[in-house]
């Protein structure tokens, strides 16, 4: 199949791709912008958005900045007396307290908490609090939270996660259906994939990340997945 994704134009004029130093217009400089001589310029590489006279940029690159309510995929990095320290693909580490990880009573004088989560375990957890000093508190109490077994992990740019998920989950659900894979997407830019066609799912997600600014991307990815399925059946 001819891959013409890169030949497409950016989504819309108001969400065009801008580069650092590019003149945007006149108005108020929001996130990712600055003013100079009464003009607004781009500070970041990203998609330009405008609300009335306010300009702001959704960055295409950058690290994950934790926010309350985010669902993230993390790796148990260290274990303390009553909590776990979690690598969340950020400059900051997540803290998972025992009382946010299990519902039963645990006698810490008699119990090794590695029976619940051990070193290098992969978890899907919820960010419940972020302090001013960037202490990130995690919880496993949300029904979607769980330990993830097997499969593979890939990293994507956190700012592109909404594009990978799609409107109301449409994009990721399509990939799940076409590849017969379980897929969990963390807001921190970590994606867990497990199933029959893991390599194809990885390819689709990486294409979305690379071409997130393209219009009609859902149809392009659908065509790619269906072509791959057709090639296998030939």
Whether 156 and 205 have beta carbons less than 8 Å apart is answered as yes
Instruction: Give me the CATH number covering residue 46.
Output: 2.40.50.100
37: domain range? 5-59
Asked if the structure places residue 229 within a domain, the reply is yes
- Between 93 and 60, the more confident residue is 93
Instruction: Give me the CATH number covering residue 186.
Output: 3.30.1370.10
- Between 195 and 159, the more confident residue is 195
Structurally, the chain folds into a number of domains equal to 3
114-165 per-position pLDDT tens digit: 999 999 999 999 999 999 888 999 999 999 999 999 999 999 999 899 999 9
Q: State the pLDDT at residue 212.
A: 83
Whether 178 and 171 have beta carbons less than 8 Å apart is answered as no
Q: State the pLDDT at residue 5.
A: 37
Q: State the pLDDT at residue 61.
A: 65
Asked if the structure places residue 156 within a domain, the reply is yes
Q: State the pLDDT at residue 60.
A: 66
- Checking if the pLDDT of 6 tops 50, the result is no
Say whether 185 sits in a helix, a strand or coil. Answer: strand
Q: State the pLDDT at residue 8.
A: 36
**Which regions of 106-173 does DSSP assign to beta strands (E)?**
122-130, 136-139, 146-148, 152-155
Say whether 195 sits in a helix, a strand or coil. Answer: strand
- Checking if the pLDDT of 230 tops 90, the result is no
0.95 exceeded by pTM: no
């Amino acid at each position: 199949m001819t891959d013409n994704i890169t030949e497409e134009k950016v989504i819309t004029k108001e969400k065009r791709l801008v580069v650092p130093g590019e003149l945007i217009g006149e108005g108020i400089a929001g996130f990712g912008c600055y003013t100079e001589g009464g003009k607004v310029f781009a500070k970041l590489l990203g998609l330009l958005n405008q609300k009335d006279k306010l300009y702001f940029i959704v960055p295409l690159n950058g690290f994950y900045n934790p926010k309350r309510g985010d669902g993230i995929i993390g790796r148990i990095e260290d274990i303390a007396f009553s909590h776990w320290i979690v690598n969340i693909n950020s400059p900051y580490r997540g803290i998972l307290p025992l009382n946010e990880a299990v519902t039963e009573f645990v006698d810490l004088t008699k119990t090794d908490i590695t029976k619940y989560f051990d070193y290098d375990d992969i978890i899907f957890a919820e960010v419940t609090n972020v302090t001013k000093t960037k202490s990130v508190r995690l919880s496993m109490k949300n029904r979607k939270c769980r330990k993830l077994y097997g499969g593979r992990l890939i990293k994507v740019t956190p700012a592109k996660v909404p594009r990978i998920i799609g409107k109301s989950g449409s994009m990721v659900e399509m990939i799940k259906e076409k590849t017969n894979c379980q897929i969990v997407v963390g807001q921190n830019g970590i994606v867990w994939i497990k199933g029959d066609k893991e390599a194809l799912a990885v390819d689709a997600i990486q294409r979305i990340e690379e071409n997130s600014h393209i219009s009609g991307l859902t149809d392009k990815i659908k065509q790619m997945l269906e072509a791959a399925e057709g090639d296998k059946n030939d």
